[in-house]
Structure 1
Amino acid sequence: MEQFERIRRDARDEGLSIRALAERHKVHRRTVRAALADAVPPPRKTPQRTAPVLGPHEATIRRWLTEDLTAPRKQRHTARRVWQRLMEEEGVEVAESSVRNLVATLRAEISGPREVMVPQTHPPAEEAEVDFGEFTATIAGVVMKIFMFCMRLSHSGKAFHFAYANQAQESFFDGHVRAFAAFGGVPVGMIRYDNLKPAVTRVALGRDRFEHPRFVALRSHYGFDSFYCIPGKDGAHEKGGVEGEIGRFRRRHLTPVPKVDSLAELNELIAAADARDDARRIGARAETVGAAAARELPLLRPLPAEVFDVDAVLSCRVDAKARVCVRQSYYSVPARHVGRRLEVRLGATRILVLDPAAHGKVIAQHTRSLHKGTEDLVLDHYLEVLVRKPGALAGSTALASAKASGAFTANHQRFWTAARKALGDGAGTRALIGVLLLHRTMSASAVAAGMAAAVADEVFDADLVAVHARRATTGRAATPPIALPTTAAPAAADQRPAPSLAGYDQLLTSSGRQLEEAIA
């Protein structure tokens, strides 16, 4: 560019000929003519290079790459693998860089033109997107896969996340209920989904779907429309907002792998992360996510008066160990229900067991297990049985669970040890079971105070523990023993006659005479 400028300046200022300009600037006369004709140099021509080594093998490489279109994604040819096969199978001596360039060119031809995306504008409160994402967490020392429900408002980009142990229908519905509650309303338009099994039972032609009746009930309850994306990767871009949000949230807030004691603690961390995300900006937007959400949330449709019931209703029979089996996990119920069929309400995070004979009274409640094949047993459910079988308490699974959860404390163990030492194993264990039964009507702190007093008095009786517990509840001190005087005061003289049995002897004599006369 600078050379063309100098040539044009010399021709303009000094009037030099083309030959003189070529000699002064040491260029060809064609270059001088090109500079005088146009101030911008013409673009360089890219030479058409031949590939004498790779040329005969281009068809083979093209065939390999075409076959990759139907091969598993993780078992397709890389440029290095193509280079290795050429050397091993074809005997070609060629540089790897040359193979890389040819593979890149052929892949662009084989895959065809890239799909063009049309930018979209989402009005406030109109649309949302829903999907599940996976991540790994360490819960109570166990590394496990967790599923994260995500609902994202398309306009503001505000998202709600919640972690579940599965992708079951209860979790899918519960995520909607929690998300709507967190947003304070429901999108007035549609929510975009892929073909999740909790919502879609079968994919029909086009965008028609056979929907699950319970999902239709959820949609009708909250009053939104559903939009289903094209199956497979072709439809991923139709809800790209939530797809990208799950990946961003996982990288930003779930890396490194979180370590928590329970799923509830994990969800507390996720809720705190959602609150922090209100301060972030999406791309080059001028306002934050929180500011955009402040404009959008008031425009959402108000929540219905009643919350949608997400629980699945099951009927389960109680086995001989006083357990019901729900989704391959076992949960205890009071032992008196053994052999009966009870109603179980299966939620996303908890399980309720109801007695149909008692008008649906809740008789047991458990946190839903994170693993299959586990046992969640409550010691209180087995106390009536343990009264008859005290020897079964020491090795019972329910006792181990109570110790692990902290329900069976060191105070209980201290009372039990002292009671067995004083009364023997059987009687001492029955005394402990009587104390455990007090927890049904008294607070844990009151029973603990009663046990401490009983151990101090070395009298191991559940009734005595109850007395001390009531005194601890009312705040009254124990009644001190009555002090008897050392010398008794003289009593007043009694003027009544001393008792006599003479009348009784006469009665016996008279009764015997009458009996003899009756026999005669």
Structure 2
Amino acid sequence: MPRMSKIEKFAAIRRDLAAGMSGRAIEEKYRVGRRTVSAAMASALPPPRKDMPPRGSKLDPFKPVIDEILRADLDAPRKQRHTVRRIFHRLLDEHGMDNVSYQVLRTYVADRKPKIRAEVGRVPVKVFFPQTHRPGAEAEVDFGEVAINLRGEQVTCTLFPFRMSFSGKAVHRIFASGGQEAFFEGHVHALKTLGGVPTGKVRYDNLRAAVAKVLGFSRQRIETQRWTAFRSHYGLDVFYCRPGIEGAHEKGGVEGDIGWPSRMVGANRARCRPT
């Protein structure tokens, strides 16, 4: 049996239940448990995934000490502030830290130091997302105008790219218009081609097909009702990038897909220009 997404599996289970197949037969056919069959019977949409509890770290008992050192450094002369290596040796010598690598401490300090400065009002809060991705988890979407050569004539169309962040595998579809129906059809085509829905965040900018209003420079959005229903049906976990240039890097993998056809048209025109 080909691998199915959870939504497709729920739909298949509901179809077999309606056809009169027994619950035990469905469990064996799809290799699922009784709870999955009951959940599919109750709703066409799978229940939301439960967030895994954060894993403990051997550094946890020493984090209050590290935070105290970082706070004290805010008012200390520059040359007397702690480097990560100095904090590491203090924890070893003064607090009995053991089996904690230098790299783990370095990562924590790099993440915590700007947040501590923000807590006391020294700098505005800026959050950066590491460019590491899990297989099948994160993805990026864009939707914008492109110029293509159609039967020798330059035509403006709309390109929908859907790119997986880990593998870089992308699905593209060109539409004659940039309406909401085309935006939805692009998703349906991409998810069908990829064989499922990403398990993590899907990044978007402030597309009119999805966002009715941007609330300031935050990540809060008032979505269009049809988009909310659509993404809820497919179980898409949406992440909205910051407006303007501050958010451009947050989905850089797909940004170039929109400009690529136009650049190719320009390059072809330049090569064909008479001398």
Q: TM-score, normalised by structure 2?
A: 0.47
- Higher relative contact order (CA closer than 8 Å, sequence separation 6+): 2
**Largest Rg, 1 or 2:** 1
